[in-house]
């Protein structure tokens, strides 16, 4: 019985070592560019959430009186046309692919 336990433990250790060696070999075989790409895939891409994006462009107003509400609405109307709501990804696509520029703008 002790021999079986010992054999099983050594087999598991060998399998574990082989897996680690396989992973190391794969990483060594990749070029630096592929290694960076692999890391990005593992980490995932951090995207800006819509909530934080909208929070930057919302107008703040107090509920003290209707006049302050009217002033805040007026301020929002003045600021909104001036503000550029484009996403950096959209501008990058437009620069790289001018044919898609019309699609991105619409």
> What's CA 92's distance to the chain center, in Å?
16
Q: For 3-59, what is each residue's pLDDT tens digit?
A: 999 999 999 999 999 988 888 887 777 777 777 777 777 666 656 555 555 555 555
Phi-psi region of 85 (alpha: psi -120 to 50; beta: other; left: phi over 0): alpha
Q: What is the mean pLDDT of residues 75-81?
A: 59
Q: What is the pLDDT of residue 52?
A: 54
Whether the predicted pLDDT of 87 surpasses 60:
no
Q: What is the pLDDT of residue 30?
A: 73
Q: What is the pLDDT of residue 101?
A: 54
Q: What is the mean pLDDT of residues 74-85?
A: 57
The CA-CA-CA angle for residues 35, 39, 43, to 5°, reads 175
> What's CA 59's distance to the chain center, in Å?
27
Q: What is the pLDDT of residue 54?
A: 55
Residue 60 contacts residue 69 (beta carbons within 8 Å): no
């Amino acid at each position: 019985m002790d021999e079986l336990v010992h054999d099983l433990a050594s087999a598991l250790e060998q399998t574990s070592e082989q897996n680690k060696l396989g992973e190391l070999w794969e990483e060594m075989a990749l070029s630096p560019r592929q290694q960076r790409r692999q890391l990005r895939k593992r980490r995932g891409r951090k995207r800006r959430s819509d909530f934080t994006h909208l929070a930057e462009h919302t107008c703040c107003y107090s509920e003290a009186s209707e006049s302050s509400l009217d002033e805040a609405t007026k301020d929002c109307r003045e600021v909104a046309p001036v503000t550029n709501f484009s996403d950096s990804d959209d501008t990058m696509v437009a620069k790289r692919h001018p044919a898609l520029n019309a699609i991105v703008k619409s």
